[in-house]
Structure 1
């Protein structure tokens, strides 16, 4: 697991071997089966998590039991509930495996220590945070102003690989539309 992670780090910055080993040595590996929870609403997010293989989703649950999915985290991405992690307060969302997944996890204290010790990791972390903020803003603008068809087309354009890996109900929950609406949109596009 750590070899794939170290390759990921090297593809983003020129880490030396000792820094790679130091970062990896503090990681806790974990395997999640489909639908296993990494974090449940009400728990405190105590880990920063890198997905080596598989995919996780960050989601909230409505009172009727349906989900609103905030984010999909496929392999070679990071995930956490940033507010819960940063403030060490109970999470308002869940993180669970969409499919069998292998992850590496760092406690907040260990990751903070690594950020202080390894400037290249701090720089990479800041770049990833900046990108996440940009993506969140784009997603919010789409959620507020795009039609269901535009949301679906944006998803296909931006995440074509995820289309084959996700059930339609999860795509609908991510787009904020009903499964019936998503099915209608897909049907209409097939007949164009």
Structure 2
């Protein structure tokens, strides 16, 4: 499993064998069965998690038991609750596996050690944070500016590979629409 992470890292940055071994020494493998939690609301998130296999989702549940999916994450993506990690506060989110999955966990302290010891690793982290910020801005803009049809079209253009891996009711939750609305949009799209 670490080989997947090593390949990802080496495609992004240059690392010596010693630096790669330093990273390997602080990673912990976690296997998740479908529907198993990586994080539950109320727990404190203490890791940086890299997905080597599978598909996970981050979501909250409101007082009416409706799920609101914040994001999906697949192989070679990072997942976690940054607010809980940075502030040490209980998470407002759940993260669970949509499919059998494998993640590599690096504790907050070990991650900080790696960013101080390996400048290229810090550069990669900064790039990931920048990309994540842009993606969040785009998602917020889409949710407040676009119609349900436009949200679905954008999702299918940019994340069709995820749509094939998750149930339609989860896609609807992610888009902020009802499953019935998604079904109607999909039927209209197929007719065109």
State the secondary structure of the residue aligned to 2:130.
helix
1:56 matched to which residue of 2? 56
Distance of 2:95 and 2:107 partners within structure 1: 16
Shift of 1:65: 1.6
| Pairing 1:15-30 to 2, within 5 Å after superposition | 15-30=15-30
Deviation at 1:38, TM superposition (A): 0.6
Separation of aligned partners in 2, 1:18 and 1:77: 24
| Cα distance in 2, alignment partners of residues 24 and 156 from structure 1 | 36
| Corresponding residue pairs, total | 192
Instruction: State how 1:23-172 maps to structure 2 within 5 Å.
Output: 23-172=23-172
Give, in whole Å, the separation in 2 of the partners of 1:40 and 1:58.
Answer: 10
SS of the residue 1:73 aligns to: strand
Whole-Å separation in 1 of the counterparts to 2:37 and 2:188: 36
* CA deviation string 1:94-144 (max 9, x = no partner): 111111001000111111111111111100000000000000000000000
Name the TM-score, length of structure 2 as normaliser: 0.98
TM-score by length of 1: 0.98
The alignment yields a C-alpha RMSD, in angstroms, of 0.7
Give, in angstroms, the shift of residue 15 of structure 1: 1.3
Secondary structure of the residue aligned to 2:174 is helix
Q: CA deviation at 1:163?
A: 1.5
**1:103 alignment partner, SS class:** strand
Q: Secondary structure at the match of 1:29?
A: strand
How many angstroms apart in 1 are the aligned matches of 2:45 and 2:140? 23
* Partner Cα distance (2:43, 2:88) in 1: 9
Q: The residue matched to 1:186 in structure 2 has which SS?
A: helix
* Secondary structure of 2:115 counterpart: helix
Q: Deviations over 1:45-96 (max 9, x none)?
A: 0111000000111100012222100011101000110000011111111111
2:131 is paired with a residue whose SS is helix
Which secondary structure does the structure 2 equivalent of 1:69 belong to?
strand
**Matches of 1:24 and 1:122, distance apart in 2:** 16
Structure 2, unmatched stretches of 5+, are none
Structure-1 residue corresponding to 2:10: 10
